Structure 1
Amino acid sequence: MKIHGRVAIITDDPGWHGRCLSDALCSRGYASSMVSLTECAYRLDDGVCTIDIPGFYPQLPDGVFVRGIAGGTLEQVVFYLNVLHGLRHAGVKVYNDGRAIERTVDKALTSFLLQEAGISMPPTWVFSNRTQAMHTARHELLSGYQLVFKPLFGSQGEGLQLIRHVDMLDQVFGYNGIYYFQRFICSCADNYFDWRVFVVNGKAISAAKRSGTHWLNNVAQGGICEPASLDNNLRQLAEKAVSVLNMDYGGVDIIADADNRLYVLEVNSVPAWKGLQKVCQLSVADCLVDDFLSKLKHKKCVQIAEI
C-alpha cells in the first residue's frame, strides 16, 4: 500500500487516545509510532546535529503529534520541551509545539497571558513567598470569597483544594514552593458544572457540559459529560483563548457564575476528549488529524510491500 508519511505520536500512555489518532492517521495513509520523550536524544558530534527519535533515527518524522509530556525533574521537563523545540527548528511540524505547551503547562503564565489579552478569568494570585500568599488568601476569605488552591503544573483536577474559610489555611502548603490561588466561581449552589470547549485550527468544533458530584467537574474526578450547544459567547471566548496562546488545538474549560458571566478556568494544550466524544457526533480524532496533516510541510508517497 502507499504510505504518504510517518508520524510520531508523543505519549507515555497511548491508550484510547493513541489508538484513535493512530487509526485516523492509518485511514489517511500515514504510518505512526508511539514515542516517549524519555527515549529521545540529541546527538551532537563531528559537526553533525541530529535528534534521535526512536523508530525514526537517523531520519526525522514527517510530523509530530504531541499527546502527552512525561513528568520529571525541572531538567528533564526542559529537555523534553527542547526536543520539541529542536524538531520545530529542523522543519518538522509539531502539533502543539513546545512553545504552546510552555504557555499552557504553567498555570501562572497562562493566567497572565489571558488576563493581559482581556479574557475574563477568575481573580488569580501566584506567590513564592508564604507570608504574602497567606496574607492575600486571608483577605479574600474574610471578604466572603472562597479560593481554589492549585498546583502550578498539573491537569485533570489533581491536587486541587477548595479553601472555604480562614481556618483551612493552616493545611495549605505550597506545591514545590509556589502558591497559586484562584477565586472560586460557584456555578450553582446544588449543581456544579462547567463546559469543556474543544478548539481545532482556531474554530470551536464541539462542547460538553461537565457536571460533578461535588465542586470539581473534571471527568477524571468523576464528572459526567452531557451534550452542550455551542452558543456564540462560549464559542468566541474559547476561540479567543486558544488564539492568544497560539495553539493548534486546545481544550478550554469555561464556567458561568450566578449572574451567567463566563470565565475561562484553564486551557489545556494536550486535552483528553474521551468524555467529549461520548456526547458529540463528530469524530474529534478525525478533526485533529485532518488539521494536523494539512499543516505538514513535506508530504511524500512511499510504496511499501504488503505484509
Structure 2
Amino acid sequence: MTLKVAIFADETGWHTRQLREALRARGAEGRCVDLEACRIDTEASRHGLLIPGWGDGLPDAALVRGIAGGSFEQVTKRLAVLHLLERLGVPVYNRGRAIERSVDKASTSALLHAAGVATPPAWAMESEAAAQRLLMRETAAGRTLVLKPVFGSQGKGLQQVGWVRDADHPEGHAVPLPPPAAVQGLYYLQRFVPPQGAADEPSFDWRVLVVGGRARAAMQRVSRHWIHNVAQGARCVAAPLTEALAEPAEQAARTLGLDYAGVDLIPSPGGPQVLEVNGVAAWRGLQKVTSFNLAQALVDDLLDRVMPRRARSAARQA
C-alpha cells in the first residue's frame, strides 16, 4: 500500500515540489496541507482531528515544512495538531516540541548554553530597567548587542543597540533601546560577534543543514551588511563541511531534539559559534551550491530512520 505523507506547509512552491518528487521516488505520496486548515473536532472522528484530504483517517507520517504565523492562540492550535498526531502514533518530522524549542530564540540560547554549545551570550527580559542596565554595561565595554524578535525569521526586525559601528560612525556611537511596546514587552538580546575580516570587505556566516543527526551540507552566506540571511540579499557560496562546523551544528540539533535543522554559525576568534537553529529550515539557497538532492536526504531520513523507529516504539508499548 502506498505511504501517504502530509507535508505541512503554509505555502506551496519549490520546496513542496521537491519533497513531493522525493517521496514519489520512494514510492510514497506527498499531500500538501496547511496547519491553519486542520481542525480539532471531537465529533467528526474517533481521534478528534480533521486533516484536509484524509477524511476521518490520518496520514502515515507528517513532514513539517512551514507553520504560518498568527496569534498566540492560532499558533498554539497548529502546534497542538502536531502534538496530537504524534500521540496518535503518526511520525512527525520535526516534532512539535522540537519546533517549539527552536522557534523560541531565547529558549534556544538557554538550551545551547546549558549543553555547552558555543553560542554568543544572550538575555531575555521583560523589565525595561534591567535591559537598560545591561545595555549600559555592554556599551561601557565597547560592545554591541543585537535586539531580535524572539519569534522572528529571515533576518527581519534585527537591530543593533549599544556601541554600534557603521558607515556613518566608524568609531562607534551609542544606540538606545526602543520602548517596550516596540518589542511586545520582551527584550531578547544577543551579543554581536564582529566580522573577522577588514571593515570594508563583505562578511559571512555559515548555514549547515543537519539531517538525522548528521551534518550533510554547508554554505557561506556572504553580504556587505551585518545581517547574512539570504532573504535579506546575502549570496550563497559553497563551503567545505569541516569538523569545526559539523560538530557544533550536530550538537545544536541534538540539543533541541530536531530531526532536521538549519544551523547558523558565525566565525569568531575561538571558533564558530551557533547563532540560531531553524526547525523548519529552507534549503533552496543551499541546494544551489550542493551537488546532492537535499529534499531526498530529508525524505530518506524520514522513511528509513524515523518511521521504523516509531513503529518499534509502538510495538513495544503494545
Q: TM-score, normalised by structure 1?
A: 0.92
- 8 Å CA contact 2:261, 2:281 repeated in 1: yes
State the one-letter code of the partner of 1:249. Answer: Y
Deviation at 1:48, TM superposition (A): 3.3
Match of 1:179 among 173, 187, 201: 187
State the one-letter code of the partner of 2:5. Answer: V
Change (3 A) 1:22 1:136: same
Higher relative contact order (CA 8 A, sep 6+): 1
- 8 Å CA contact 2:136, 2:162 repeated in 1: no
Deviation at 1:261, TM superposition (A): 2.2
Q: Deviations over 1:201-246 (max 9, x none)?
A: 0100000011112101110100111010011111111111111111
1:243 counterpart SS class = helix
The CA distance in 2 between the partners of 1:171 and 1:91, in whole Å, is 46
Matched, 1:45 2:53: no
- 8 Å CA contact 2:44, 2:56 repeated in 1: no
Q: 2:34: which partner in 1?
A: 36
Q: 1:303: which partner in 2?
A: none
Q: 1:266: which partner in 2?
A: 276
- 8 Å CA contact 2:162, 2:176 repeated in 1: no
Aligned residues: 296
Q: 2:208: which partner in 1?
A: 197
The CA distance in 1 between the partners of 2:193 and 2:174, in whole Å, is 20
Match of 2:88 among 87, 90, 94: 90
- 8 Å CA contact 2:44, 2:50 repeated in 1: no
Q: TM-score, normalised by structure 2?
A: 0.89
Matched, 1:279 2:293: no
Stretches of structure 2 that go unaligned for 5 or more consecutive residues are: 164-172, 312-318
State the one-letter code of the partner of 2:187. Answer: Y
**Among the aligned pairs, what percent are the same residue?**
45
Match of 2:151 among 150, 153, 167: 153
Q: 2:257: which partner in 1?
A: 246
- 8 Å CA contact 2:139, 2:174 repeated in 1: no
Report 1:1-307 matches (<5 A).
4-45=2-43, 48-165=46-163, 167-171=174-178, 173=180, 174-188=182-196, 189=199, 190-257=201-268, 259-294=269-304, 295-297=306-308
- 8 Å CA contact 1:187, 1:194 repeated in 2: no
Larger deviation, residues 38-47 vs 179-188: 38-47
1:48 counterpart SS class = coil
Change (3 A) 1:286 1:80: same
Deviation at 1:172, TM superposition (A): 5.5
- 8 Å CA contact 1:133, 1:179 repeated in 2: yes
The CA distance in 2 between the partners of 1:231 and 1:211, in whole Å, is 18
The CA distance in 1 between the partners of 2:42 and 2:294, in whole Å, is 39
- 8 Å CA contact 1:192, 1:216 repeated in 2: no
The CA distance in 1 between the partners of 2:78 and 2:177, in whole Å, is 36
The CA distance in 2 between the partners of 1:217 and 1:225, in whole Å, is 10
